[in-house]
Chains A and B, each alone.
Chain A
Amino acid sequence: KMRAGAEEAESSGYQRVVLKNASPHQYLKSDLPPRVLEDESARVSAIDLKTFITSCLRSLFGEVGAALNVDVLKYDEETLTALLRVPSRGLVKLWSSLTLQGFYQNRVCAFRVLQVSPFLLALTGNSRDLQLD
């Protein structure tokens, strides 16, 4: 992590540290749930998912977009939930290409992005799934 500057110690004796661009990666948790694909018998493996993401990026941003370093960190085949990692400067590109993708192998699909965070720990909890009872 880069320390971009340290402010002077104030009279009360503490030091303020400013962190700019603290995180090199952004993490994206996304969902391609079976019910969203019109044909429910679709089986998408991790490799299929990676090729799919690269093709989405290529169709919207071309070869330069497809060259973006997207990693699939975790993939659950049953629920089709994926955890992606992308360099921070590429987040807008990746996110918009996933949003604008309407088709997967001639089937209508909708990529739903559940959580985005620069910190992987933040993706463990989701207040939307909280049961308050």
Chain B
Amino acid sequence: MSVFMDLNVLFSADRSRMQSLVETAAHLGFSTVAINYVFEPTTKKKQEVPSPVPISELIGQLPVVQGRSRPIKVLNRLTVVMSEASHFRPNATEYRAFDLLAIQPTTEKLFHTTCMLCDVDIICISVTEKLPFFFKRAPINGAIDRGVVFEVSYASALRDSTMRRYTIANAVCLMESCKGKNVIVSSAAEKALELRGPYDIVNLGALFGLSDADSKEAVSSTCRAVLLHAETRKTASGIVYTRISQQEALQDCVGSEAPAAKRPKPT
């Protein structure tokens, strides 16, 4: 049984709001949250990639997860909204400060490049607009082989009925193409009230077209796979390190390979 994680909690400078967000997440039963810094580069002026605020400054005492004895884990994540291929620079030094990297492609060509080439962990599917392109099996299967996951977020569905339609439409489209593998569902919550419990999200997965097992995986074991993938990405290429695991003792890590310890179930 894997733990529940919510890998998308939007960053805001308001410290009390972040505090209440993390506390609510811990109360609902999420063992890990990732604070998401959204970066949208425009070609007009050069923008700095935001650097993450250290967790200890942002949130005082990490609350204990309900039902477990450990405090909640808080990670940092960067989402780059790409409208051009030059927006994402691989191996940039600013990206090292983040635990997770995500990309939100806006065109079909970029989606293809992101799936096949880019060194990221998560590909965000936009939910606030009608999908500008159709999903094709080829890049999606390429991404699944590499260990990259697709993310659907549900907070915009809470705010507006039009957004709800877009979320469900885009999610259903994605599930048809990827057959329910390598998907995570997360909130893009700005406030504590926009968070929902893990089993509620499992039920939402049924609405998006996922089976029961896939739906639960979308909140638990696939998220864990993302974290492991992010760790392998961080340790650069060609480094061999050992992992304490029942299956294997040695893991060879070259670039962005899905870790053998936790792979999505081949069906």
Contact = CB atoms under 8 A, between A and B. Distances in A.
A128 B204 contact: no
A70 B159 CA distance: 24
Interface stretch (B89-97, B114-122, B192-200): B192-200
Contacts of B157: 100
Given A59-B161, A60-B164, A128-B67, A99 B203 contact: yes
Contact of A109 (B154, B193, B199): B193
| Contact size range, B | 20 to 34
Among the interface residues A36, A59, A102, A113, which one has the most CB atoms of the partner chain B within 10 A? A102
A116 to B, nearest CB: 8
Given A59-B161, A92-B206, A102-B159, A110 B195 contact: yes
B64 to A, nearest CB: 13
B194 A96 contact: no
B200 A113 contact: yes
Q: Which 4 A-B pairs have the closest CB atoms?
A: A102-B158, A99-B200, A110-B193, A95-B203
Given A95-B200, A96-B207, A110-B193, 8 more contacts: A60-B164, A95-B203, A99-B203, A100-B158, A100-B204, A109-B193, A112-B28, A113-B197
Interface of B: 28, 66-67, 154, 157-159, 161, 164, 191, 193-197, 199-201, 203-204, 206-207
Interface of A: 36, 38, 59-60, 92, 95-96, 99-102, 108-110, 112-113, 116, 128
